[in-house]
Amino acid sequence: MTYPHDDASDVQAPITRTQLALSQEELSLARLQEAANSEDMALAEEIVERAHEADIADQLEQMSSEDRGAFLDMAPQLITADILAELEDEVLEDVLPRLGDAQITSAVETLDSDDATAIIEELDETRRDKIFAALPTRKRAELEASFSFDEETAGRLMQREFVAAPSFWTVGQAIDHMRAQGDNLPEKFFNIYIIDAAFKPIGYVDLSNLMRRPRDVVLQDLMSPHLRTIPQDMDQEDIAYQFEKYHLISAPVIDMAGRLNGIVTVDDVIDIIQEENTEDILALAGVSEANITDTALLTVKSRAPWLLINLFTAILASFVIAAFGFAISEYVALAVLMPIVASMGGNAGTQTLTVVVRALAERDLTSSNAARAVRREFVAAIIIGVIFAVVLSLITYIWFGNFSLSLVIFIAMIVNHICAGLAGILVPLGLKKAGADPAVASSVFVTTATDVIGFFAFLGVAVLLLF
């Protein structure tokens, strides 16, 4: 299909440096640092205007502290409220001191209360008081109320902007009410919560359902009574579980009396799920997250304590080996085969541990089905142990031509795999029952068990059969 045009339209306008830089999103973001280094305000403004706030935040997070400081010193006004809301906490700590009180106050006033709270959290107490004093009374009261709750609870995470209506209102009244609120409405919301005379939520109406109905339909006729409420002191991990289990988009947060106090939305829960999953994965390895802003010294401080614990557990395993030193000196083949037994047991234990910790986090493994899970892992460990015991014993016989040595490795592999399977499930279950975090402490205990028992089983059986 062609369209009428004059000849002049065939002549392309010259491509400017800024247009060329912005022809690809990735390239434009990469040049944000270039704009800071060259103090090119026009280029910086163009990039920030065209890119998504999350992309700008991501680029700021990837900059070194010095380059980020240069950009902020050149154009602090380009850091909008939405960009601040997208920044990681560690980078936010670096950015906020370079912004003026008026800019931070404006951002906090603009954002929903949950995002505003996240920004205020990163300020020192003196500056926080200044920002609070400059805020409108209602906004200040909302934020101060959020800080009365513990971190990582619904009361701290929730946004206090929501839409609620009595059940006797009509669709038309609800729509007129929302239009009258204007900027007082939440930036994003999905449901209208139906409340009773005591301001307790009794149901909800989806916006998609509301907009399809005539104006005279009563909300009670549209209301879904299957409402999952979130107590204001609920931990964020439990909140994420509720959202995942019941496929929620948003959920009302209630106070001690059951009154509607705020809402938690799915965008915040996605962040929580990602954060909790990352914590569990890193905890299994005995490390903490290495942020872009971390120095080598901070990285060492976070990892060295766990390595020190592993050092002592390794020494414990070495004591077992030393106790059988005479056997190793007599049969050099024992020294060759010994690491195989410990390594296979350690890997088997890690596999079980990873699955069990994940099942505990997702509430799939509970006290009601724990016995069945232990039996499953026990049987699986026996089968796997026998399979690899046969394989390794054959390799050992071909390698060393000693049937007794093959029998030693056969028995040791089965014993160590059974130990690994049971340790991989019993250790996290025991820690969970004791109130400890299985993801943090389990790996040390499981590794110690597989190493010590693996070496003891292998060398002990060797002494019995070979001497």
Name the segment(s) of the chain with CATH classification 1.25.60.10: 14-152
Q: Tell me how far apart the alpha carbons of residues 224 and 214 are, in angstroms, rounded to a whole number.
A: 18
The residue to which tokens 């200040």 are assigned: 140
Residue 102's Cβ-side half-sphere holds a number of Cα atoms within 13 Å equal to: 2
Q: Tell me how far apart the alpha carbons of residues 143 and 158 are, in angstroms, rounded to a whole number.
A: 11
Q: Tell me how far apart the alpha carbons of residues 423 and 429 are, in angstroms, rounded to a whole number.
A: 10
Are the C-beta atoms of residues 204 and 227 closer than 8 Å to each other? yes
Q: Name the percent of the chain in helix, strand, coil, to the closest 5.
A: 70, 5, 25
Are the C-beta atoms of residues 174 and 146 closer than 8 Å to each other? no
| H or E stretch at 166 | strand 164-166
pTM, two decimals, is: 0.65
The CATH number of domain 164-270 is 3.10.580.10? yes
Name the segment(s) of the chain with CATH classification 1.10.357.20: 296-466
DSSP result, 221-285: HH-B-----EETT-BHHHHHHHHHHHT-SEEEEE-TTS-EEEEEEHHHHHHHHHHHHHHHHHHHT
The CATH number of domain 14-152 is 3.40.50.11030? no
* Residue 250, beta-bridge partner list: 265
Walk along the chain (467 residues) and give the pLDDT tens digit of each residue.
333 344 444 434 443 444 443 444 455 556 777 777 777 888 888 888 888 888 888 888 888 888 888 888 888 999 999 999 999 888 898 899 999 999 999 999 999 888 999 899 999 989 999 999 999 998 899 898 898 899 889 999 999 989 999 999 999 999 999 999 887 888 888 999 999 999 999 999 999 999 999 999 999 999 999 899 999 999 998 999 899 889 999 999 999 999 999 999 998 898 888 777 776 666 666 555 555 555 677 667 766 776 777 778 778 888 888 888 888 887 888 888 888 888 898 889 888 988 898 888 777 888 888 999 999 999 999 999 999 999 999 999 999 889 999 999 999 999 999 999 999 999 999 988 888 778 766 787 888 888 888 888 889 888 888 87
The residue to which tokens 């991990």 are assigned: 237
Beta-carbon contacts of 126 under 8 Å, excluding residues fewer than 6 positions away, are none
Residue 170 is classified by DSSP as: B
Q: Which CATH class is domain 296-466?
A: mainly alpha
To 10 degrees, the CA torsion angle through 30, 34, 39, 40?
-60
- Helices 65-74 and 25-38: angle between axes, nearest 10 degrees: 80
Q: Tell me how far apart the alpha carbons of residues 19 and 23 are, in angstroms, rounded to a whole number.
A: 6
Phi, psi of 191 (to 5 degrees): -130, 150
SS3 (DSSP) at 194: strand
Name the segment(s) of the chain with CATH classification 3.10.580.10: 164-270
